[in-house]
Chain A
Amino acid sequence: GESVGLHLPTLSVQEGDNSIINCAYSNSASDYFIWYKQESGKGPQFIIDIRSNMDKRQGQRVTVLLNKTVKHLSLQIAATQPGDSAVYFCAVPAYNFNKFYFGSGTKLNVKP
């Protein structure tokens, strides 16, 4: 199976600063990675994904970086806003997409 883990359980940032959330995975054969945002009382919401043939992908205010050498990915949020406060998970699907493995979430607190 896949083991996915996050480095920090809680991250507090000032509004307007950039946030970086990290995630490590164990299976070097993993080739697809997803970041989810989960607000309190809601289901996880897709933020951005990346395939292993890329090392960087950008979205709106978010960037995911993938380092396959050390099996690490990160989510960068630019100009963090109060609405970004949530728990962030990285997830990796099984090779056949029959299931997804979630890492332990990082709670992002944005201070106004």
Chain B
Amino acid sequence: AAGVIQSPRHLIKEKRETATLKCYPIPRHDTVYWYQQGPGQDPQFLISFYEKMQSDKGSIPDRFSAQQFSDYHSELNMSSLELGDSALYFCASSLGGGGNGMSDEQFFGPGTRLTVL
């Protein structure tokens, strides 16, 4: 079965550079969530989208922005990268999340490991 696809899987950037992370949800899934997971930490919610509209926002820096496109894939844009941005970034998708308060299981992608030097 198709799973959530994230690209790239690994990314190395210098401080103050920009990065774009991509997420392709499971086909027919309309909801995308982004999480940041630092070393040894739990995933922290960044932002979510339902039907191409932002549905909620968590502890996402102003330097970050995201959007969900017409084909439901999502991109997380990160600018002015800092050393502290080094983390695993996970995307998850579900069907029906946020719109009606009911959500099927949330499926996670394999993550993008971002290293900022």
Contact = CB atoms under 8 A, between A and B. Distances in A.
Contacts, number: 63
Contact of B45 (A42, A100, A105): A100
B58 A99 contact: yes
A99 B70 CA distance: 21
Interface residues of B, number: 30
Interface in B94-117: 94, 96-98, 101-103, 105-111
B55 interface: yes
A102 B46 CA distance: 12
B42 A104 contact: yes
A100 B42 contact: no
Interface residues of A, number: 23
A104 B43 CA distance: 8
Nearest to A9: B40
Interface of B: 4, 31, 33, 35, 41-45, 48, 50, 55-56, 58, 90, 92, 94, 96-98, 101-103, 105-111
> 4 smallest A-B Cβ distances: which pairs?
A98-B56, A43-B108, A97-B103, A102-B42
